[in-house]
């Protein structure tokens, strides 16, 4: 039986036990009211820990998490400040593995915190803004606490029955929003090279941010584009309204944009509400290798902190600073390069720290997120380096050619020393 309470009356001590492990809905699907209650009451319960894959709400701060232990798959969004303050445990993992690890008990989940829409006439709630591993958490948890928010859209796809909820907390508050990033000349220069790999009928996987948004702006003259992505943002709405995005040529899910997360603003959320042309799915579908193998013309776009001269990609850590995460990069890089007529693109600015550091590097300063054997195309504002099928010496030449001109001579010297000693 579902217990219904208001936010003011929520007492987590009725449902949580000392030592419980909580999985929290992520990104724009964060149940903000439940998180605030955890911050306020968690210390009284004792021994609690929580896992949230990403966070954009700003509710988690180094000062607010003293009452429980918080972990994540990366320092993504506003979690970066916690990582810097050593208040965040990092679990290196691919997005496609989070759900299975919850199912298998590797990532503990006695309690699931989720945000859902109001129920429909059949008593079914939509997860609204996040599919991903939410269903896995609900299925594994002893207790499911749902923030039922009348501002959350009802999106076809992932959801749960009212009878699966142990405690329903009714709220009416704006869900987390991530406004489109400002696009500058650098982003547009990178986007121009990325867009050259996108043809009529291509199926897109992108993240959100200035470069992905700039790429979408370049596609006004394409026809019958499709989407199969871990996340989508407001830019998808622009493509639909322009008649560019139809999903008409997709071999699977024709006519439907498939995503695991909506990360945007009210514009995207209004577009998504009861839209039969959009489907919110779990990562067991969006990131599954067998599913992705059926997507022809898949063009995947991901980012990096740095790339070394052989094509190894670091998207996680720069020195001691953890800045990103493994995410779904490897899942989609492999899918894009194997897709018939597809490509996998890693895009990044050529420099960092005001131009003082080259992001095309002789050696990585952090871990290898994507292996050089998986990499297809690397793009900076200076061009595109196609690496698949090229030997190490040719890869080095191509990557130096897209580095910032100020660093090419130094990189050439470094490459000579590396080759002389052996890669």
pLDDT at 422 (0 to 100): 65
Give which of 397, 125, 105, 153 is closest to 267, Cα–Cα. 153
- With beta carbons less than 8 A apart as the criterion, state whether 58 and 78 touch: yes
For residue 151, pLDDT over 60 is answered with yes
Question: Model's pTM, two decimal places?
Answer: 0.94
The residue count of the chain comes to 423
Domains of the chain: 3-171 (3.40.1080.10), 185-421 (3.40.1080.20)
Query: What average pLDDT does the segment 315-331 reach?
Result: 85
Query: What average pLDDT does the segment 66-70 reach?
Result: 95
Q: Beta-carbon neighbour count of residue 89 at 10 Å?
A: 13
For residue 395, pLDDT over 70 is answered with yes
Residue 423 pLDDT class (50, 70, 90 cuts): low
Distance CA 135, CA 133 (A): 6
User: What element of type H or E holds 144?
Assistant: strand 143-149
Q: Enter the tokens of residue 334.
A: 């492999």
Residue 420 pLDDT class (50, 70, 90 cuts): confident
Eight-state DSSP code of residue 7: G
Q: Give me the residues paired with residue 5 across strands.
A: 169
pLDDT at 43 (0 to 100): 95
The 10s digit of each residue's pLDDT in 339-354 is: 999 999 999 999 999 9
Contacts (Cβ under 8 Å, ≥6 apart) of 359: 304, 305, 306, 307, 348, 349, 350, 351, 352, 380
The 10s digit of each residue's pLDDT in 221-234 is: 999 999 999 999 99
Residue 64 pLDDT class (50, 70, 90 cuts): very high
Q: How far is CA 43 from CA 48, 81, 144, in A?
A: 8, 21, 20
The 10s digit of each residue's pLDDT in 114-150 is: 999 999 999 999 999 999 999 999 999 999 999 999 9
Query: What average pLDDT does the segment 272-301 reach?
Result: 97
Distance CA 374, CA 313 (A): 10
- Mean pLDDT computed over every residue of the chain: 95
For residue 368, pLDDT over 80 is answered with yes
- With beta carbons less than 8 A apart as the criterion, state whether 158 and 265 touch: no
- With beta carbons less than 8 A apart as the criterion, state whether 2 and 168 touch: yes
Provide the percentage of residues in the chain whose pLDDT is more than 70. Answer: 100
Distance CA 128, CA 347 (A): 30
Distance CA 255, CA 383 (A): 33
For residue 2, pLDDT over 60 is answered with yes
Residue reference for tokens 């050529």: 350
């Amino acid at each position: 039986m579902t217990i219904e309470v208001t936010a003011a009356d929520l007492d987590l001590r009725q449902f949580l036990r000392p030592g419980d492990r909580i999985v929290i809905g992520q990104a724009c699907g964060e149940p903000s009211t439940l998180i605030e209650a955890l911050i306020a009451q968690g210390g009284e319960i004792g021994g609690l820990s929580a896992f949230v894959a990403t966070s954009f709400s700003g509710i988690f701060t180094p000062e607010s998490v003293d009452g429980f232990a918080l972990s994540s798959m990366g320092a993504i969004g506003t979690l970066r400040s916690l990582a810097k303050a050593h208040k965040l445990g990092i679990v290196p993992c691919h997005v496609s593995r989070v759900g299975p690890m919850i199912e298998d008990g590797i990532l503990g989940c006695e309690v699931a915190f989720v945000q859902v829409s109001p129920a429909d006439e059949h008593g079914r709630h939509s997860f609204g803004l996040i599919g991903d591993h939410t269903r896995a958490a609900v299925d594994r948890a002893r207790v499911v606490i749902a923030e039922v928010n009348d501002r959350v859209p009802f999106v076809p796809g992932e959801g749960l029955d009212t009878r699966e909820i142990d405690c329903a907390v009714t709220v009416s508050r704006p869900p987390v929003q991530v406004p489109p990033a400002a696009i500058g000349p650098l982003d547009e220069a990178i986007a121009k090279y990325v867009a050259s790999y996108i043809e009529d009928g291509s199926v897109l996987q992108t993240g959100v941010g200035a470069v992905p948004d700039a790429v979408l702006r370049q596609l006004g003259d394409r026809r019958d584009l499709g989407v199969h992505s871990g996340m989508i943002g407001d830019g998808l709405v622009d493509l639909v309204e322009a008649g560019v995005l139809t999903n008409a040529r997709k071999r699977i899910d024709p006519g439907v944009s498939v995503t695991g997360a909506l990360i945007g603003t009210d514009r995207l959320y209004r577009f998504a509400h009861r839209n039969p042309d959009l489907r919110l799915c779990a990562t067991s579908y969006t990131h599954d290798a067998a599913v992705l193998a059926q997507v022809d013309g898949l063009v995947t776009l991901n980012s990096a902190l740095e790339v070394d001269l052989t094509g190894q990609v670091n998207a996680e850590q720069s020195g001691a600073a953890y800045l990103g995460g493994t995410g779904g990069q490897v899942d989609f890089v492999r899918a894009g390069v194997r897709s018939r007529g597809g490509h996998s693109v890693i895009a990044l600015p050529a420099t960092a720290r005001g131009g003082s550091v080259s992001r095309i590097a002789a050696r990585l300063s952090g871990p290898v997120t994507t292996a050089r054997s998986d990499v297809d195309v690397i793009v900076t504002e200076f061009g595109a380096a196609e690496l698949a099928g090229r030997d190490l010496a040719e890869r080095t030449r191509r990557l130096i050619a897209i580095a910032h001109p100020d660093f090419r001579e130094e990189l050439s010297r470094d490459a000579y020393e590396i080759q002389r000693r052996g890669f």
